[in-house]
Amino acid sequence: MGWRYANGRNYDRGPGQHKAVSVLSPYIRRRLVTEAEVVTAALAAHGPEASEKFVQEVIWRSYFKGWLERRPQVWASYRQGLEADLAALDRDRRLRRDVERAMDGQTGLACMDAWAEELVETGYLHNHARMWFASIWIFTLGLPWRLGADFFYRHLLDGDAASNTLGWRWVAGLHTRGKPYHAQAWNIATFTGQRFTPRETDLVEVTQGLEATEPDGLPSLQPIRSPRAPEPGRPTALLLTDEDCCIEDFDLAGLNIVATATLAASHLRSPLPVAAAVATFEAGALADTAARAGLTPINLRADHPDGLAKWAASVGASQIATPYITKGPLMDWMDEATPYLAAKGIVLAEWRREWDSTIWPHASAGFFKVKQQIPQILARLVAA
């Protein structure tokens, strides 16, 4: 988390060799360990100067979360566009062949094929490799960016709606508009330690991004959603999801908990099959969460949304309490469940962490605005 990270974080050494980065992202994404915990550990071990880059990257994830909360239209646009792209795959045999080759590691470009294989086999890719892969997918191979984002989302153990969607948009020049990320042969050779040495002619020169596909620009900022807080004394069904697996941080003792359930929802990431490893990791995370909190939940799956309402009603609950659900597939599903809950007199109540409430208001434009606030953010959120 210190100088070793700062100096080596851009190097993709390959599967099993990611030694200069923490590889904690699947755990941080589910808050099996929280952002505050890892930042506190980094500062304690290395001090603010040596841990600066690590801390920035942790906060960058929170920035993306807040940015999508404030522009939820971008998530809706992604899901609608993905449906259209998948429909095009059914109609266009050549496009289907090219996408399948890219996902199967059969493009003939050694670096792309190796990254596709690593992603599918391990559920992980180094951040720099994700950027190169996305750039080559979009600009050199000319494939729809949403299909690439979906490929990542279906396989990444740390798959996150905000980081994944906005990361691909950033590469495409849609997030920081007009500034696409250009994968270059020399950069790949340097930061893979010469594992891959593509020729300059293997990659197209990127001169403009995809901003012309969104001529209206970015949608307007929306107010951050205000959750309903759990009410003490009200019969409560406690819902555990992999949005936040540190349930013990919240005041459970003040609630009248009549039942607890885990909710498996990884399959909601895509209309296509999600990697089994993702669902297995989710199940392990939820089981660990329940065990740490001394809970004995039943296991639910996010299928038809009326199932949640039927369960809560069957245990006599009038509210469901859960950590805050951010914009993404689970929140889409919860929106579908809301009318079923309302019909049975059940409300959804959520806890939102101070970490999110502090950072998200700054996530209105580029990361620089958040970066400027990091000293104040740390002073407020991180234990001395």
Q: Are residues 249 and 207 in the same domain?
A: no
Instruction: Give the burial class of 42: count Cβ atoms within 10 A of its Cβ; 0-12 exposed, 13-18 middle, 19 or more buried.
Output: buried
Q: Are residues 154 and 258 in the same domain?
A: no
Total domains in the chain come to: 3
For 93-109, how does the pLDDT look when each residue is reduced to its tens digit (9 = 90+)?
Answer: 999 999 999 999 999 99
* Number of CB atoms found within 10 A of residue 23's CB: 12
For 11-44, how does the pLDDT look when each residue is reduced to its tens digit (9 = 90+)?
Answer: 999 999 999 999 999 999 999 999 999 999 999 9
Question: What residue spans of 219-305 are helical by DSSP H?
Answer: 276-292
Q: Are residues 241 and 311 in the same domain?
A: yes
Average pLDDT value over all residues in the chain? 96
- Please report, in range form, the residues annotated as the binding site: 5, 54, 57-64, 158-160
Tokens 């990127």 correspond to: 206
For 304-335, how does the pLDDT look when each residue is reduced to its tens digit (9 = 90+)?
Answer: 999 999 999 999 999 999 999 999 999 999 99
Residues present in the chain in total: 384
Confidence of residue 377 (pLDDT cuts 50, 70, 90): very high
Give strand ranges (E) for 181-285. Answer: 235-240, 256-264
Tokens of 65: 């979360």
- Please report, in range form, the residues annotated as the binding site for FAD: 5, 54, 57-64, 158-160
Q: What is the CATH number of the domain that holds 245?
A: 3.40.50.620
Q: Is 107 helix (H, G, I), strand (E, B) or coil?
A: coil
Q: Are residues 312 and 287 in the same domain?
A: yes
Provide the edge-to-edge strand list for the sheet that holds 298-301: 298-301, 256-264, 235-240, 319-323, 347-351
Question: Is this prediction's pTM over 0.85?
Answer: yes
Q: Is residue 75 part of a domain?
A: no
Q: Is residue 300 part of a domain?
A: yes
Q: Is residue 21 part of a domain?
A: yes
76-82 contacts at long range (C-beta below 8 A, 24 or more positions apart): 78/146, 78/149, 78/165, 79/332, 81/146, 82/146, 82/147, 82/149, 82/150, 82/270, 82/271
pLDDT of residue 382: 87
383, pLDDT greater than 70: no
For 251-287, how does the pLDDT look when each residue is reduced to its tens digit (9 = 90+)?
Answer: 999 999 999 999 999 999 999 999 999 999 999 999 9
Report the run of H or E that residue 57 belongs to, with start and end. Answer: helix 52-70
Q: Is residue 218 part of a domain?
A: no
For 121-178, how does the pLDDT look when each residue is reduced to its tens digit (9 = 90+)?
Answer: 999 999 999 999 999 999 999 999 999 999 999 999 999 999 999 999 999 999 999 8
For 173-224, how does the pLDDT look when each residue is reduced to its tens digit (9 = 90+)?
Answer: 999 998 999 999 999 999 999 999 999 999 999 989 999 999 989 999 999 9
Report the run of H or E that residue 300 belongs to, with start and end. Answer: strand 298-301
Segments forming the whole domain that contains residue 318: 235-351
